[in-house]
Amino acid sequence: MCVNDLIVQGAEPLFFLDYFATGHLSVEAGRAIIEGIAEGCRQSGAALIGGETAEMPGMYKDGDYDLAGFCVGAVERDNILAGEGVSAGDMLLGLASSGVHSNGFSLVRRLVTDSGLDYSDPCPFDETKDFGTALLAPTKIYVKSTLAALKTGHIRAISHITGGGFVENIPRILPQNVSAHVEASGWSLPPVFDWLREAGNLAPLEMARTFNCGIGLVLVVSADGAEDVRKIFEQMGETVYSLGRVVERSENEPATIVTGAAGSWGYTDPWQALSAN
């Protein structure tokens, strides 16, 4: 998550520090956590240079822990992606996510509880895994593929689809005079999100502002460079979708509009999810 937040600014991650607090340190749990952090650093090319492990009896119940971290990166000032170069006619590309990633779990936990299933039960949308393992698929790290694609000079802005989904994250990278039109028919809703949609009877807007719905990064690219950017990402192993385009924004038009045809994301009727501004 941290390194993805850096790469959308055009920055290359340099180093990461973690904070791990618990009531009583379990060597087994601590080893697994550090191994996971180290793997994330390897995938992103960042150095794990230190951190803090705090043992605080009385503050945490047995088996509970608090985990946080932060990452520092660097980018040349002239190469910072702040959205100023976005203009009408630019294309929207999406990179596939690996699952729920790290957002929306308050709702996920509620839906699991309401379903009556346990995290150790067989997963209803992937019979090869238990439910908890499927829901906790590691967040995909896009650093190396994005750094390669940035060298083309065709990427105008990048949105990391975290909490707030499409309708709260995409508007942050757009100038006031344009709007992003996303076509939901451009990709299929992955099984985990289809299960969440059905389990909670969630409306399209709730899906589009809570979950990544299968798209981890949205890239705004120049129309004439879209295919070059796509090829680089695909060569780096990413799954790339054409999501839509940037258009001139009319008066009172939302900054982001997600449109679904009948059948898109499993909804019977056509629908739209609009950003608040």
**Domain 2-79's class?**
alpha beta
Partners of 221 in beta bridges:
91, 155
Task: Give pLDDT, residue 277.
Answer: 86
Spatial CA neighbour of 190 closest among 119, 99, 262: 99
CA–CA gap between residue 72 and residue 133 (Å, rounded): 29
Identify the segments of the chain with pLDDT beneath 70.
none
Output phi, psi for 168, to 5 deg: -110, -25
Partners of 182 in beta bridges:
244, 258
One fold for both 2-79 and 91-274?
no
Task: Give pLDDT, residue 62.
Answer: 86
Task: Give pLDDT, residue 218.
Answer: 98
Angle at 214 between CA 208 and CA 217, to 5 degrees: 85
Task: Give pLDDT, residue 63.
Answer: 87
CA–CA gap between residue 54 and residue 106 (Å, rounded): 25
CA–CA gap between residue 205 and residue 174 (Å, rounded): 20
List, for residues 100-126, the tens digit of each pLDDT value. Answer: 998 999 999 999 999 999 999 999 999
Angle at 175 between CA 170 and CA 181, to 5 degrees: 45
Spatial CA neighbour of 205 closest among 159, 167, 256: 167
Report domain extents, the chain.
Answer: 2-79, 91-274
List, for residues 47-96, the tens digit of each pLDDT value. Answer: 999 999 999 999 998 889 999 999 999 999 999 999 989 999 999 999 99
Instruction: Give the contacts of 28 (CB within 8 A, at least 6 positions apart).
Output: none
* Tokens matching residue 19: 């904070």
The fold adopted by the segment(s) 91-274 is: Phosphoribosyl-aminoimidazole Synthetase; Chain A, domain 2 (3.90.650)
Task: Give pLDDT, residue 1.
Answer: 86
